[in-house]
Structure 1
Amino acid sequence: MSTQKLEYDASLGGEVALPSNLPTYHYASGALNEIKTMIAEAQKPVSSKLIFQSLPKHMRRRAMSHHPNRLPRKYRSAHKCQMAKAGNQPVAPKRPSRKYRRRAKNLMREYMRRQRNHIWLETHIWHAKRFHMIDRWGYRLAYASCDKTYRACYRASSEHCLVQDISFYSCVQLEGSLDQLRTGFGRLTSPECGLGIAAKTYMSGRREGSIQLFADSKYPSCALQRVLFMWRPEQQPENQTRRTLWLWLHPAGAEATIAQLIKVFQLKSTKQERLPLPYDTDALVPSDALSKVPLSVESVEQQAEGSNKQPLRFWTYTKAFERNRSYANADTGLQMVHIKHELNRFRLTGPRAQCVLAASLRAYRKDREDGAPDDLRLGDTPGQALEPADYCEAALQLSSPSELLSNLILSVNVVDPRLQRPSKRSKAAKPAASLVNAAQLHLSQPKQPPHSDLWDPEFRERLSKQMMAQHKYNQLRSLHAIVPGQRCDFEDQLQPLPLLLIQRPGSQQAQYKRLGYAAGWDVIVPARYGMVLWQTLIMWGARPGGLREFDSVARESGIDHYLPDTVAAAGNADSQGASCSILPAATQQALQLSQAVGGQSICGAMAFASA
């Protein structure tokens, strides 16, 4: 029997009595709440000071209130919240130093990021330091020089040499039967527009042609653009049933033209292919067998006939990466490849383009150590066929490009253009006038057509991979060149460079502009060699130009690259953000004629008028 213990005050008449035991969990719960309250008060003291003011004096830094990074890391978020409540935004972080941004890995990563939306040409870095750059047709292109060079560029195009990078032109390769190509392009054009794509003068591959394309069977309406083309040279083109063709498309209407080619030739993309599986009902197909060359449908059908003729099984092969878009027609065997980032095209305009090319290019010869050509005296051997290298050097010694056959194609292997670069920029010397006779040169053309290794995609890829980088070349020069400007032994081991030279006749309208104005050369260069040749041309006195000069030279020549009713003109107007409101006089006459003949397009009306 338990009795209550009386407290000391019970004797005084009090009623307070303490229990004999105490539950600890009630005491702990009350103490826990008190501890939480004390910790909360300690962490958030009631004070009018800010975070950076509550730090000890030895940890304070100048301008802490504006630069949160000067505070310890654990106080930065709270300090930013206080600044946001007060309406003061922290100072933007300082941009990394130029030395940090110019590091190799950071620089290349930045270049790749900036090329996501717009493609850069090989000469982009060179142009970006000297030209105003604009976004046009999915590319980042040079528009005009930062200097006042409008009149200087016109003088260069008429008296000296103007060089432009037109590598933004799209190259499309078609390979198939000659009859199929002739029939397909017959649906995209008309004989009233001039010589067709299968004309005899172009089939040998010695000349480049141009043709106006329209939508499928829509002539004279729905004009696309004017296309440059060239055939791959063959030894006996009349006996070749399968030919290869290059089309050079302006980017303003390239996609529309490619869509029409796909429609006419009934092509399908090769990014995904439906291929038959080897017939085996008992075992699964190993993964390594799928990566090999797929079996043909005929071979699989033969296997199926011996196995109770069960239905065929197929699998879809998808290419993870496709550098160049390719299309094919399985029934006719015709193939189309959109070649990108493998070829560069430079345009030299002016009478001194001959001198610049002659000084920048030197034919590669294995039988001559120094590679220096002999003096070409065509008068001693009239009518004798020359070698391609000798003929090219003789053609470049003429006074003007307009003295040669129009749209002539020359193929030549040259030494690395870095070996032909002068020590300082200077104008190329004009050759002697009596050295080469143009009339005799026409009778001395090479017997073989202008074959070039640039037509081989594997060779182009191997050539780009084996090129010596400019940084390594400079390092070897600094080690081996005892006398500045003297040739080194390692330079003889540099691989030769195949080029294609295409003559442009220039203006042919004497009533509008003098004959031969804007005559020059187009040079097709493989990938990675574009900047090498570009700098050599600049060092020999060629004046660089941009899109402004591309339009001004065409306007002075009486040529309209963007006829208002073509797809290319619509794409160009959309990219510029303005429509073509002012038309040239020739275009206005063609527009009036098109209305008179029943609403034909301007291209068709001009062809109708010329006929």
Structure 2
Amino acid sequence: MASDSLQYDAALGGSVQLPDEVDSERFNEERIIEIKTMLRNIASTDKQTKLMHQSLPLHMRRRAMTYNPKRLPRKFRVIHLSQFSKSGQPERKKRPSRKYRRKANVLLEEYERRKRTNVWLETHIWHAKRFHMLNKWGYKIPFTPTSKAYRACYRATSKHCLLQDVSYFGCIEIQGEELLLSKRLKQFCSEKVGLTIVAKAFLEGKRSGYVWIFERDKFPYKCIGKIRFLWRAGETDNRRTLWLFAHPVFYRKLVVELVNAFNLKDTYENDMEMDVGHKASKTMNNPGTIRIPKYVNDSLGVTILELKDTINYFRLTGPLSHSILSKALKVCEPSENVNQNNWYSEWFQQTDNKNIVDEQFKLWHATCKLTSSGELSPGIVFGLVIKDPRLNRPCKRTKAIPSVIMKPEPLPECNFLTACSPLWNTSIRDRIAKEMQSTHALNSKKNKECLVPGEYCSSDGSVQPIPIILMQNTGSQNGQFKRLGYGAGWDLIAPAGYGLPLWQTLIMWGAKPAGVKELDMQALETGVDLNRIPDTVLGKSEADIEYEKKWSKYFARPSNRRVNYKKIAIASPFRCPWSQLVSEWSVLKNSSFFVLRDQEVLSKVQMAINRRFNIQSAGLPSQCLIPISLTMKSRGNPGDNALICLPHRHDFRQNKQQKQVSDNSPVYIEELRKDPNQKERLLLRRHHLKLLKRLRCRRIREKKIRQRKNPGKLIRISKPNNQELVKQQLSKMRELWLPEVPETIRNQCSRECFGYVTQCSFSLTEANVAALGYVTADGLKKLFKICSKGTLKVLVRGTKSRCYRFASFKIQNE
């Protein structure tokens, strides 16, 4: 360069003169020393502070290197393993392969572990692959199919056959003298509701029935629930046996009530507390290992056995249910399978049992020619001994259709022999489960002996038969209320161990499987919903669960995304406050209420709705709720928990004018109101935030004071101890948003509320939006005064809408 340029370097503190060229040889020699030092540090494990996988370039690093040495280059793996062995970290085990996890013994251990929290049904494995499963009532039960099945399930109930596994219903066996049982059991039911447990129609055991159970001598209050019962047929002496099938929600309460009524004692000394669950983890496949709780009163001679989870209970609904059973169940002939070494050969040796099998064989073959179960006597019971259902399956799924008969033959007379069954015997039930052949062993024998698949082979004769009990369901008996015969079918009771084989056989013959969700569909279509009755144990439990779910979801949203129910005049959007509603309408300010089930009174109310009777002469108690079925007169779906209100006279005039011009708009729209608690909520929130900020500033000041006293020491701010303060603020805000106890239910809006809707949806039977609900007696009387002429109508309003629409209604009297 012509002249040297002076440059200033602040790090050196003066001017320096930079060279015009770089000596490459000298530069490389100095870099070689640095490269050797770097390579020596990488290869050495003694002095470096970083781990091997941390020393790699960024583009070669992987997150999995920390626990998987194979992610590193091969030449660095030994160093990586030596580093981790010195650190003492445990070796991460590889997840077992799917082949190992699917081994039979490993699967069995895993299933037993998962059964500890919720009891599995025998059909659980079949359902788990095809259904959404639900933890409910202490069971793992199928909720709904994974495929779209709502309309398909309805078609099955109306035209085909719907199959449901309701084995979670608990069975209670009562043994004792007939007179004593009749006297004590009368205290739990009433003849006003219908036929009781001790009615003459059921005592012979030829029919099963349903009955409403109340607490002892508390009718009509304190309703427990609706149960199914069956007396044992063919008992010669005065000692009788009775089975009660109860829902798992009130099963324990029913057991306690029965034990107290007969003054029974638990035979097991270590299990005297009945409120606590008696049984450990149980499997229906091994009923012999299940401890069956037993309660005895030696002086009265009464015994109660809890047979819960020891038998299978299937429900078939639809007109083709009888055809499917006639195809799927092959009854043993009287002289068949008597020389084999099984329970049937020993049981058949008795003369009475030979007559039983002969009568059942004749009757079943005669009834197989029928097209529907509705042609039989209501509630008839068949006790059958059938062949193993695994021997009677079609090669592919087949729809069982009844054969057309030109002249129906008369049925033989049903007697107590046709209802007898060895399934009542506990020792036979246990022996059947223990001597059951596995499906693998059965198929192995058939493969060796049977040349043509599906044909009969000699090994089939050695398979033990199975005793079952069939109980007929009548379906709708009131054609004016619902379609006649809708919901008819059969209930099938089978021994433990044969639940899955029997289930698969029924499916192969054309039954449509369904879950718990489809029970709501059936309830709406039949007009009877047993899960949402306000005064029962099940209804209260389900209402509380639903309220907690909706209440938590509502307050999980931010305040600007919540529906302000104060402004639209809705006092209780998530549940129906029946006690407060009844007390506001009745003269007696009492919180107790009951659902009216008196058949005679309900018939009078329906006649009054049809203008054939005076409602004042019906004798309606003021503390009762009347069940009704509603049908919307125009468009709109108000949804569950909708309000049932009394109309004004000008609402009828408005509706008439709208009909003339085909106007489907609402009859009346509620005016928006001011929220009286809005300012208070804003002030409360502002003061709360100020208080939290003040507490934080106080903690910061304390930290600064401690830092001055201890300079150089690390001081952390203390955690806030204001959990209780935040909880109180949250409860206050929720009370201002939505109080748990409303001020009024009757006058919450401009139309007087006198009832609530428990279930509402589009009914495929009615081809319209239908609903089930309950109204107060005094409110219904006032409706008669408003609607002095013409058809009675009520106004229905949803909880998220301000629109009122008319709906007609009928009394539920099924």
**Partner AA of 2:332 in structure 1:** Y
Q: Distance in 2 between matches of 1:48 and 1:202?
A: 87
Does 1:207 find its partner at 2:210? no
Q: Distance in 1 between matches of 2:438 and 2:230?
A: 31
Q: Distance in 2 between matches of 1:410 and 1:73?
A: 72
**Residue 601 of structure 1: aligned partner:** 594
**Partner AA of 1:264 in structure 2:** A
TM-score by length of 1: 0.73
Contact 2:205 2:416 in 1 (8 A): no
Q: Distance in 1 between matches of 2:574 and 2:372?
A: 34
Which range moved further: 156-165 or 358-367?
358-367
Does 1:510 find its partner at 2:507? no
Length, aligned pairs only: 487
**Residue 181 of structure 1: aligned partner:** 181
**Residue 355 of structure 1: aligned partner:** 323
Aligned pair partner of 1:257 in 254, 259, 281: 254
**Partner AA of 1:359 in structure 2:** K
Does 1:465 find its partner at 2:434? yes
Q: Distance in 1 between matches of 2:209 and 2:65?
A: 71
Aligned pair partner of 1:480 in 437, 442, 449: 449
Q: Distance in 1 between matches of 2:46 and 2:397?
A: 74
Does 1:391 find its partner at 2:360? no
CA distance 1:333–1:273, change in 2 (3 Å): farther
**Partner AA of 1:139 in structure 2:** Y
| Offset of residue 490 of structure 1 | 0.3
User: How big is each residue's C-alpha offset from its partner over 1:329-350, in whole Å with a ceiling of 9 and x where there is no partner?
Assistant: 2332211111033211111111
Q: Distance in 1 between matches of 2:465 and 2:407?
A: 27
Q: Distance in 2 between matches of 1:509 and 1:578?
A: 36
Per the alignment, in what secondary structure is the counterpart of residue 191 of structure 1? coil
Contact 1:52 1:64 in 2 (8 A): no
Per the alignment, in what secondary structure is the counterpart of residue 172 of structure 1? strand
Aligned pair partner of 1:338 in 306, 309, 323: 306
User: How big is each residue's C-alpha offset from its partner over 1:572-606, in whole Å with a ceiling of 9 and x where there is no partner?
Assistant: 3455555897999xx99x98999589854115566
Contact 1:220 1:600 in 2 (8 A): no
Which range moved further: 168-177 or 575-584?
575-584
Contact 1:189 1:213 in 2 (8 A): yes
**Residue 524 of structure 1: aligned partner:** 493
CA distance 1:494–1:225, change in 2 (3 Å): same
| Offset of residue 213 of structure 1 | 0.9
**Residue 743 of structure 2: aligned partner:** none
Q: Distance in 2 between matches of 1:525 and 1:455?
A: 11
Per the alignment, in what secondary structure is the counterpart of residue 134 of structure 1? strand
Q: Distance in 2 between matches of 1:389 and 1:193?
A: 36
Contact 1:223 1:566 in 2 (8 A): yes
**Residue 137 of structure 1: aligned partner:** 137
Which structure's relative contact order is higher, taking Cα pairs within 8 Å and 6+ residues apart? 1
**Partner AA of 2:221 in structure 1:** S
User: How big is each residue's C-alpha offset from its partner over 1:385-406, in whole Å with a ceiling of 9 and x where there is no partner?
Assistant: 9822121222232111111100
Per the alignment, in what secondary structure is the counterpart of residue 248 of structure 2? coil
Note the 1:365-384 alignment, pairs <5 A.
365-367=333-335
Note the 1:64-75 alignment, pairs <5 A.
65-67=65-67
Aligned pair partner of 1:568 in 513, 538, 541: 538
Does 1:432 find its partner at 2:370? no
Contact 2:359 2:418 in 1 (8 A): no
Q: Distance in 2 between matches of 1:541 and 1:591?
A: 48
TM-score by length of 2: 0.55
Which range moved further: 575-584 or 323-332?
575-584
| Offset of residue 497 of structure 1 | 1.1
**Partner AA of 1:602 in structure 2:** V
Identity across the alignment (%): 37
Q: Distance in 1 between matches of 2:128 and 2:427?
A: 32
User: How big is each residue's C-alpha offset from its partner over 1:28-75, in whole Å with a ceiling of 9 and x where there is no partner?
Assistant: xxxxxxxxxxxxxxx995432427789xxxxxx998842167789885
Q: Distance in 2 between matches of 1:602 and 1:115?
A: 38
**Residue 51 of structure 2: aligned partner:** 50
Q: Distance in 2 between matches of 1:396 and 1:339?
A: 31
Runs of at least 5 residues in structure 1 that lack an aligned partner in the other structure = 1-42, 55-60, 82-89, 275-320, 370-384
Which range moved further: 323-332 or 569-578?
569-578
Which range moved further: 389-398 or 161-170?
389-398
**Residue 288 of structure 1: aligned partner:** none
**Partner AA of 1:512 in structure 2:** F
Q: Distance in 1 between matches of 2:205 and 2:534?
A: 32
| Offset of residue 557 of structure 1 | 1.0
**Residue 9 of structure 2: aligned partner:** none
Q: Distance in 2 between matches of 1:608 and 1:265?
A: 33
| Offset of residue 235 of structure 1 | 5.0
**Partner AA of 2:302 in structure 1:** L
CA distance 1:427–1:51, change in 2 (3 Å): same
Q: Distance in 2 between matches of 1:593 and 1:494?
A: 66
Runs of at least 5 residues in structure 2 that lack an aligned partner in the other structure = 1-43, 56-60, 71-76, 272-288, 338-356, 551-571, 605-814
**Residue 150 of structure 1: aligned partner:** 150
Per the alignment, in what secondary structure is the counterpart of residue 406 of structure 2? coil
Aligned pair partner of 2:385 in 407, 413, 430: 413
Contact 2:193 2:598 in 1 (8 A): no
Q: Distance in 1 between matches of 2:587 and 2:329?
A: 52
Contact 1:386 1:445 in 2 (8 A): no
Alpha-carbon RMSD across the aligned residues, in angstroms, is 3.5
CA distance 1:324–1:76, change in 2 (3 Å): farther
